[in-house]
Structure formats: C-alpha cells, structure tokens
Amino acid sequence: MVDRLAGKVAIVTGAGSGMGKAISQLFAKEGAKAVLADINAQGIEEVKQAIEQAGGQAAAKVTNVVKQEDVDGVIDFATQTFGQLDILVNNAGIMDNFTPVGNLTDAEYERVMAINLTGPVKLCRAAIQVMEKQETGGVIINNASVGGLFGTRGGAAYTMAKHALVGLTKNIAGTYGRFGKVRANAIAPGGVATNIQTTITAPDPLGMQALQATGETPIGQPGQIANLALFLASDEASFINGDIVKADGGWTVN
C-alpha cells in the first residue's frame, strides 16, 4: 500500500528530531503535506529539506507549544498554506529526571506540565475548531508514553502529565469521536532511541531506583513508532477511537 495519507495535511510537533522527524518523513512519503512544528528552527528546516528531496511536501513553522500565540500561529499556518488540517500529532515532550514528588520543585513541575500536557491541550482545542467544520473531520494522535499507564516509568511530573494526556485522548474520543468527526488515539511508547534522553540532566537516585525495578528496558527505533502513527492516522484505523496503543517491546507485559 502506498499514499495512505494522500491529500491529507498533518501537523507534527517535535518534528525536528526523533519520533517527530520519523513520523513527519513517513507521513510525507505516504502522500501527506507535513507541517513541521518545533522550537528547533534548524531541525525542522533540515527535515523539510529531506522531505522535499525525497519528493514530498512539507512546510516548517517554529513553534513553542507552551505559547498560545505559537499554537494559533501553527494552526493558521497549516490551513493558510495547505487549505485544511486533517491530522494533528502531539509528539513534542520532555523528560523530568525521574524526580519523585518529594523532591519535585515548582519550577520543574510547571515546565514539564506546560510542555507535556498544556501544549497538547492548546493544540487539540485549536485543531478541533478547524477539524469539526470539515466534511472529512480529522484525526488526533497524542504521544502519551507508557509513563501515562504505569507509575514508575517516569518522575512524578512526567507521569502525571502523561496520565492526563491519556484522559484527554479518551475524552476527545468520547465526545468528538462519537458525536462529531474527530477521532483521537494515543501511542504509549516505551524506551525509544531519541534525543529526549538529553533532557535528563540530573537523574534523581530514588526515581532511578524505581525505574530500574521495572526490569531491562527494550529500546525501539523512531521508525517503529512512526509506523504505528501512520496506521492510526490513516483510514485503515477508521474504527479505532479512544484507544491507547502500547509500543514498548513487551516491557510492560507483566
């Protein structure tokens, strides 16, 4: 099968590297017009060039998902550049040094929640206002992490944000998916080889002890997550709504 996203327009946050980069490139390969959103201007420009060199279509927009003006700006940019918005992938996120709540500072809590939860909330809100007016509706995919399903796969702030993102996904699915035209699902990756690890600057010893007790972490590749995102974004997944799909190499089977 080819061109599974032909004619679609997709915004991918965190598109400058890692899973966001892989998702953007695969979506473009499958016919989507990819809107690359990231705070890293150089990263999204390089991804844009790679997509265009491969024969795809892409546009880059520097976006800080915490800022409402940037959120509104990237939604407007997508619709003005390509005329519609069919897919939103909330992929941008950071880790939190596995800090347990007893050691969590207000500053760290607020930063993690702002990027990992408030940003996706703002983007979902803005995207839905466009998608629900379109005859074909739209699809939202949130990158929720196994940290959104289990309590020791991240620090307190990260875990709270990802659990809330799971709840947001289900709420959108239960309202706009059942009674509107916007499907919503989430991906829950385990360990994936991306540069998000660079946001772990000073791991908390107690948090790391809790993480290590979960056993050896299988490490996936960004392309493996991109393949799942492609399926969920495509019409092949038209009857899948409100699901949280794990992609963790079996890390959480026990």
- Pairing verdict, β 219-220 and 191-192: parallel
- In whole angstroms, give the CA distance from residue 106 to residue 88: 30
- Each residue of 150-166: pLDDT tens digit? 988 889 999 999 999 99
- Pairing verdict, β 182-189 and 138-143: parallel
- Each residue of 92-140: pLDDT tens digit? 999 898 899 999 999 999 999 999 999 999 999 999 999 999 999 999 9
Q: How far is CA 64 from the centre of its chain?
A: 14
- In whole angstroms, give the CA distance from residue 144 to residue 138: 19
Greatest extent of the chain over all pairs of C-alpha atoms, in Å: 52
Task: Locate the DSSP E strands across 77-195.
Answer: 87-90, 138-143, 182-189, 191-192
Alpha carbon separation from 231 to 30, 179, 186, 224, 245 (Å, rounded):
11, 22, 12, 11, 11
Catalytic residue among 27, 98, 150, 158: 158
pLDDT averaged over the chain? 94
Asked if 158 is an active-site residue, the reply is: yes
